[in-house]
Chains A and B, each alone.
Chain A
Amino acid sequence: MSSRGANVSSRIGVAFMTPAAVLIGLFVVFPFFWIIAVSFTNRSLLGANALHPQFVGLKNYLDLFDPATFWSQGGFGPSLWLTIQFVVLSALCGQVVLGLVLAWISRELSPRAKSLLQGIVMLAWILPDVVVGFAWFAYLDRDAGTLNQLLHGLHIPAADFLIEHPFLTICVFNAWRGAAFSMMLFDAALQSIPPSYLETADVVGASGWQKLRDIVLPLIRGHIVTDLILITMWTFNVFTPFLLTAGGPSFETDILPIYTYRIAFKSFEFGKGSAIGVIVMLINLAFSLAYLRLAQRGLRKKGKAA
């Protein structure tokens, strides 16, 4: 009877899963393999290849890494290098560190001040992209922007942020935009640490930095890895800076999502665009594996020490 029951319930389970599985298959699994397949063709929307796309083997990949064009202005090389800097600066240094600091600070605030702080940080996260993009564009404008008016009030000369420091600007922008997620995640992680640990540390006179380094960070290692994986992937794929700079000026903010957009949806070269997508996917995979190994090594070490 019990085995029959299990049978029935697993069959019901399958029935319940089917719609979701079909949807995921149609919209996630199939496109995934389709992109890999298309990346080996010269498929496009315009031109002769649209009617008769041909299998071109690794040509798209070889073209991307062709030494003659790899490092050219607006080429794949600068874009890839820019994206790595963007991820390190805006995501790892920006969002993760900022999120951790915010979570650490808000721990010591009164409940009201804490919810005020977190509410403000969350706002940056939940506003729609287009609204945020436009607001920043207006905020940073050289001639009439709010920021320059404030600087003017402080007798600091006006700066042309989007032209003179475009990359720094989108880094700050992205850190501001995404810090809320890390903050929320770390906030939850910090709450999972038994207060007695920190109180004991207080009794023996540990400094704030010592507590963070020796108690907090080891305990929330798993959360940090999760955060790093998600933030890295999101930042690798974020398109919102396009609303500020459109990848320019002179390709100085031409991160991979914008590069991909130019190839796939302005030039309509679907084959080459898909190849870039596959490469980005592989890079993300490598990052994730590296993070996971880091986490496991930490766990093993901890196990040995115990």
Chain B
Amino acid sequence: MPATLHTRLTHRASIVRVAALLLGAISCAMAQAEPVELSIACRCVEGGVNGSEARWLKQVVVPGYVAAAKAQGREVTVKLREFAGSAEQMSQQLALDFATGQGADLAEFDGFQIPGFVDAGLLKPLDEVAGPEANAWEGWSHIPDSAQALVRFRGKRYGVPEQTDVRMIFYRRDVFRRAGLDADHWQPRSWQDILDAVRALKRQDPASYPLQINAGVAMGEATTMQGWLMLLAGTGEELRDAQGRWIVQGPGMLAALDFYKTVYIDEKLGEARTQRLVSGRNRSFTDFQRGKSAILVESNWFYYTAIDPQGDFPIANRDEVVGWTKMPARTPGSAVRGQDFISVSGGNSFVLNPHSKHPREAWSLLAFMNSAPTLRRYQEFNEHLCVRDDVLPPHSEFLRDSGRELLPLTTIRPIDADYEKVSVEIQRMTESVIAGKLSPRAAMAEYAAAVRQIVGADRVVAFDLPQESGS
């Protein structure tokens, strides 16, 4: 009995040993020939949101990179993970992916979230993931420093910026003409000029709401970027002072809140309902598309994607009826840096997943994707403001003009780990005002208390307000 057991055991052991050897040999052989698998996560879907980006990635980037790798004797497959949800949902997904060691090797990323991800250990500097060649990339010399700032945090680069945007005023020439306003070269030089035009439009059609400038929680980040910051920067105030302290009270903030109150509450120049609806942003697009509103403060993206004749909110004769103009300072020269006009920019970039199994290949794919020839092909799918100075929009006068005029004037959001939470407080503050729930001063006081709780009382600063007028 023991003998049999023994033989059986040794027999079994030898089988195991042989199997292990075999497996080892196979896996060894597989490792040599194993094709590298990479994946790209984008907020783009063929035939859906950012469809042209999806087509560019599928038709140019993926086959181009696979072929280039093959020429160097490497087998690579690249998969595209298309994400159809909102930008917020995409970042939620990425946060959860990266926190659990999952996710695509390359992911599309809105730069302002880099600090939060970095502090949480969810992102690593490019050169730490991919090695020193990430710093030696030829592309950096073609990307202006202001654009690199979008992906830089504490002196390290965390991704490669691809495109940027600028914000401006769009107006309907047809509606302007009906009200007897300058429909061809309208250029307001102060907030007063904007209000004068809007009042004229309102007189022409008293039931209409001619102006939309974003506010409130339903609009999310669109409130902060194309509403609040466009106004605030025009007063010369910023979100933080030079020492990095958050400004929780100031005359500029009060002026911006008063502007909202004039527009949405006192004179009903804009429709507060649109701002407060769950689907309000789309509604604001539809209203402009149908000429129900005549002035909309938006990103240039709105022009070349949303109301593009082939876009989701098409205006067939867009080039004739839609004009754009620069957002003025509150009064000439009152904007940050003493400017007369102001813009706000954000940008799209791609980051490397720190858990990537093939970080070097992932970097070479990212570099290939952001090389000038590949990005020039992207312009054929959808013209946009590429951050590379050697990739210009080939045809669109709108993009060239707006980029040339506004990029030198533009500002970006603070690269600060607390920014996202403060941004939510900005949305709450503006919501209270446009809903008529709080006066501008009371809303600002709530903002101050909330921001103090977020960043700590030692990191905020409050400036004196003008005396309350006796109204």
Contact = CB atoms under 8 A, between A and B. Distances in A.
A68 B452 contact: yes
Given A46-B95, A250-B435, A72 B119 contact: no
B125 interface: no
Interface stretch (A24-32, A215-223, A261-269): A261-269
Interface stretch (A86-94, A241-249, A280-288): A241-249
A246 B115 CA distance: 28
Contact of B99 (A50, A245, A250): A50
A73 B431 contact: yes
A46 B98 CA distance: 11
Given A50-B121, A74-B217, A268-B95, A68 B453 contact: yes
Given A44-B120, A46-B119, A250-B216, A72 B449 contact: yes
Contacts of B121: 50-51
**Among A45, A49, A249, A267: residue with most chain B CB under 10 A:** A249
B395 interface: no
A69 B122 contact: no
A202 interface: no
Interface in B73-104: 88, 92, 95-96, 99
B432 A250 contact: yes
A109 B120 CA distance: 63
Nearest to B91: A46
B367 interface: no
A73 B277 contact: no
B116 interface: yes
Contacts of A49: 120
A45 B432 contact: no
Interface string B108-122: 000001011101111
A160 interface: yes
A245 B95 CA distance: 26
A24 B30 CA distance: 43
Contacts of B407: none
B437 to A, nearest CB: 6
Interface in A140-171: 160, 162-163
A45 B96 contact: yes
B450 A69 contact: yes
Interface residues of A, number: 29
Interface residues of B, number: 36
B432 A73 contact: yes
A251 B429 CA distance: 12
B99 A48 contact: no
**Among A44, A46, A63, A66: residue with most chain B CB under 10 A:** A46
Contacts of B88: 266
Given A66-B453, A248-B278, A250-B437, A47 B120 contact: yes
B461 interface: no
Contacts of B95: 45-46, 268
B421 interface: yes
B66 interface: no
A248 B276 contact: yes
A48 B119 contact: yes
Interface string A204-248: 000000000000000000000000000000000000000001101
Contacts of A74: 217, 428, 431
B449 A68 contact: yes
Interface in A24-71: 44-51, 63, 66, 68-69
B116 A46 contact: yes
Nearest to A268: B95
A73 B437 contact: yes
A249 B277 contact: yes
Contacts of B287: none
B99 A72 contact: no
B218 A249 contact: yes
A259 to B, nearest CB: 12
B273 interface: yes
A145 to B, nearest CB: 13
B115 to A, nearest CB: 8
Contacts of B117: 46
Given A50-B119, A246-B218, A267 B424 contact: yes
B195 interface: no
Nearest to A242: B278
B184 interface: no
Contacts of A251: 217, 428, 431
Contacts of A63: 453
Given A69-B449, A74-B428, A248-B218, A267 B119 contact: no
Contacts of B438: 73
A44 B309 CA distance: 44
Interface string B430-468: 011001011000010010011011000000000000000
A241 B363 CA distance: 45
Contacts of B218: 246, 248-249
Contacts of A162: 277
Nearest to A69: B449
Nearest to A164: B273
B417 interface: yes
Interface of A: 44-51, 63, 66, 68-69, 72-75, 160, 162-163, 245-246, 248-251, 265-268
30 contacts: A44-B120, A45-B95, A45-B120, A46-B113, A46-B116, A46-B117, A46-B119, A46-B122, A46-B420, A48-B120, A50-B120, A50-B121, A51-B120, A63-B453, A68-B452, A68-B453, A69-B453, A72-B449, A73-B428, A73-B443, A73-B446, A75-B450, A245-B278, A249-B216, A249-B218, A249-B276, A249-B277, A250-B431, A250-B435, A266-B88
Given A46-B119, A249-B435, 19 more contacts: A46-B95, A46-B113, A46-B120, A47-B115, A48-B120, A48-B417, A49-B120, A51-B121, A66-B449, A66-B453, A72-B428, A72-B449, A73-B431, A73-B432, A73-B438, A73-B443, A249-B431, A251-B217, A267-B420
Interface of B: 88, 92, 95-96, 99, 113, 115-117, 119-122, 216-218, 273, 276-278, 417, 420-421, 424, 428, 431-432, 435, 437-438, 443, 446, 449-450, 452-453
